[in-house]
Structure 1
Amino acid sequence: MTLKLPPVDPARMEQEWAADQDVLRNLAANGDQASIRRSVDVSFRGSEDNLERLSEAAEELGLTELGHEDDAEGGDPWLFLERVQAVDEKSIRALTELCLQIEQLFDLEYDGWGCEAQTGTVH
């Protein structure tokens, strides 16, 4: 089965991209070298059934499942996924576009990405 990814709403993409640029600026301010590949995690929340569908499709989408988490306030549960990639603007923009497509395709709420800063120095 090949998934057909829907087009992304340009306004939604720009909204997410503005938030992404804040994260990228913070990483850069901490000495991050964006070209260093590392694990980047993404999170989605929604119904258990929709999260399960995404979990089953994750590998086909180039993502690895990290785990599920129930919402502390009794809201929808979360699914955490990751992939190894660089965090330069082009790579992050592509990841955000994919996540917004996943959001639409699986009727979930995309909640952003995160990673550890990589300075290229060994601790």
Structure 2
Amino acid sequence: MTGLPEIDPARLAEEMAADESVIVELAANGDIETLPRTIDIHFKGDREAIERLARDAPVLGFRFIDFGEFEDGDIAADLQVDGPVTRDARTALITRALQIEISHGVEFDGWGCAPETGSDE
């Protein structure tokens, strides 16, 4: 037992399936999924929960980047981590995001990154 909250396998599968279009788009732009890159991860929720997440980000393995605000009053936290986007890496990232959703009372609002082609351009 790792002490981390258990996530719903169906929710993980749903998130992974939703990401397939992102992976297709990255590949169409020459992405090499095994190359590390900066990945943006987004969460939203009420101010107190999001501020707690921002404070905890380093302990959770992420860098806090910025806050945002939605029209409905929810606040967003933008975090970053570096890594590849292979299936295993995405599964680990999304699993961790869903665990944070449970442990911090926030909503995982997706991830994104630029294609990594290995060129210096």
TM-score by length of 2: 0.93
The Cα offsets for residues 59-80 of structure 1, whole Å up to 9 and x where unpaired, read as 1111000110111x24301000
Runs (4+) off by over 3 Å: none
Structure 1's unaligned 5+ residue stretches are none
Aligned to 2:24: 25
Equivalent residue letter for 1:46: G
Aligned to 2:75: 77
Deviation (angstroms), 1:100:
0.5
TM-score by length of 1: 0.92
Equivalent residue letter for 1:41: D
Give RMSD over aligned pairs.
1.3
Structure 2's unaligned 5+ residue stretches are none
Which structure 2 residues correspond to residues 30-109 of structure 1 after superposition, within 5 A? 30-71=29-70, 73-109=71-107
Residue 40 of structure 2 aligns to a residue whose secondary structure is: strand
User: How many residue pairs end up in the alignment?
Assistant: 120
